[in-house]
A and B are shown apart, each in its own frame.
Chain A
Amino acid sequence: MNSFERRNRMDRDTAEQLLSGDPAASGAGHPRVAGLLAAAGAPGRPSDLAGEPAAMAAFAAARLSPSSPNRRPSMIKLTLAKLLTVKAAVIAGVACAGVSGVALAANAGVLPAPIASHLPGGHASKAPHPFPSGSALPFPSPSGSAAGVDIAALCREFAGRGDEAHRVKALKEDHFGELVRRAGKPDRDRVEQFCAKVKPSGSPSARPDGSVPPSGQPGDLPGNRPSGQPSARPDEHAGRPSGQPSSFPSGSAAPTQRS
């Protein structure tokens, strides 16, 4: 560094003067820097304010919103709520994986009967099968009834078999074999629920397209069951718990793994 540069070099004090807009700084050997800063900080011009209408609109909108003055607490609440939601979702997800895994196992006939009858939700129902009415059932979509066998006709026939005892007997007939196979198992409730999805009472034919039945029973519409448990639907969870059924063959492994 030669003496000339040293003389010209800006020191910290001069920089502070320039930055704080001290008029004395402009004469302190750096007129161009002072001019530059003055130009950069020159008063605004009309084009700077092009966004004013948008800003005013934002202000008006914020005033209408009652939550805006107390934003901070609500943000904390929001964050807490989010955290809880995430936790709940994780717990629900784990539970779903467990339930659907067990459901798959039960469906595959892997589980021994005592476990199958004590599946979550099963104890709430007096029905002997592990899928209480109201829960979504792991049978194929009713829309499959259009293929080959006239499931709707079978259902009508099945429903016409008199009282409960007669219908339970009818389950064993070969004639209803396809219906039982579609419903998943030879269980009267199960078959009737299946039929309810295929053909609402009074409907002359199956509804493969899922159109609204004439009799109007929204609770029986496929996919519109208010009390359904989507978590137990095999079409949603079949892939996820693939490791679960294989860990149950002894029937004793399940409780230790779940706890």
Chain B
Amino acid sequence: MVPPEDLDAAVSAAQSGDEEAFRRVYRAQQPALLRYLRVLVGDDAEDVASEAWLQIARDLGGFAGDWDGFRGWTATVARHRAMDSLRAQRRRPQISAPVEHFLDLVAPEQTADQALDLVATDAAVALIASLPRDQAEAVMLRAVLGLDAKSAGKVLGKRAGAVRTAAYRGLRRLAQQLEPDDPPAGQANGVTPSPAAALKEVR
């Protein structure tokens, strides 16, 4: 991962026309942007991301800010393009996100430090996408795009408190789906039930 200070400089250099700097900020931001868009528009995410980068490249000269600001701004641009796409289709695509799928892939004892395979990323994004949209967006902007509540609120046109609440509700719902009967911290490592059993309890 590129240190944020370097990316501050890269944003600035890209604004001055430095092509390689633009490539670096693209590579740093595009994966997260793409996942955020997947939550919003499903399979159209790649197309909408392309449109967003077209606009980002065009309007970069008018942007003022550092890497943090750039992440928020690009998320805003991507969201606008996603809303255009949704308006054109008049619906939010249904993303199938079976909990079983994710539970099959993520063993209970896995921690954040452990390397997760590529399919797990898709499954995780799909599961977040199954939340109500305001919760899904809040979770993605904060946990995946790395925005704080205030910046995420700017993207969504909401106050920071509303974003915190939406993200909290989203996580609580995810926890209910994934850990319906997990014991509290301290006992987690010994007596975790099998994912299939957990799923039955959800139903």
Q: Which residues of A contact B (CB under 8 A)?
A: 4, 7-10, 12, 15-16, 18-21, 23, 26-45, 48-52, 54-56, 58-63, 65, 68-72
Q: Which residues of B contact A37 (CB under 8 A)?
A: 112, 124, 139, 143-144
B interface, CB within 8 angstroms of A: 1, 14, 17, 19, 22-23, 26-27, 30-32, 34-35, 46, 49-50, 53-54, 56-62, 102-103, 106, 108-114, 116, 118, 120-121, 123-125, 127-128, 139-140, 142-144, 146, 148, 164, 167-168, 171-172, 174-175, 178-185, 188
In the complex, residue of chain B having the shortest beta-carbon distance to the beta carbon of A9: B172
Report yes or no: A69 in contact with B108, Cβ–Cβ below 8 A: no
Residue of A4, A18, A21 with most partner-chain B CB within 10 A: A18
Measured in the bound complex, the distance between the Cα atoms of B56 and A2 in whole Å is 51
Q: Is the CB of A59 within 8 A of B22?
A: yes
Q: Given A19-B143, A54-B53, is A36 in contact with B118 using a C-beta cutoff of 8 Å?
A: no
A70 touches B121 (CB 8 A): no
Establish whether residues B185 and A27, one from each chain, have CB atoms under 8 Å apart when the complex forms: yes
Residues in B whose Cβ lies below 8 Å from that of A58: 53-54, 56-58
How far is it, in angstroms, between the C-alpha of A16 and the C-alpha of B165 when the chains are bound? Answer: 10
Whether the Cβ atoms of A62 and B60 lie closer than 8 Å is yes
| Contact, CB under 8 Å: B61 / A18 | no
Contact of B49 among A30, A51, A70 (CB under 8 A): A51
Q: Which 8 residue pairs are nearest across A and B when measured between Cβ atoms?
A: A44-B31, A69-B61, A39-B124, A29-B185, A38-B112, A58-B57, A32-B178, A55-B53
Are A54 and B17 in contact (CB-based, < 8 A)? Answer: no
> CB < 8 Å: which of B53, B61, B123 contacts A51?
B53
The 19 sampled A-B contact pairs (Cβ below 8 Å) are A8-B182, A12-B164, A15-B171, A19-B143, A21-B146, A29-B182, A29-B188, A31-B109, A32-B175, A40-B35, A40-B128, A43-B31, A44-B30, A49-B27, A51-B30, A51-B53, A68-B60, A68-B62, A72-B62
Closest B residue to A40 by beta carbon equals: B124
CB of B31 within 8 A of CB of A33, answer no
Please judge, given known A-B contacts A12-B168, A51-B46, whether A30 and B179 are in contact too, CB under 8 Å.
yes
CB distance from A105 to the nearest CB of B (A): 47
> Contact between A23 and B175 (Cβ–Cβ < 8 Å)?
no
Contact indicator A41/B143 (Cβ below 8 Å): yes
Note all chain A residues with C-beta closer than 8 A to B168.
Answer: 10, 12, 15-16
**Shortest Cβ distance from residue B67 to the other chain A in the assembled complex, whole angstroms:** 16
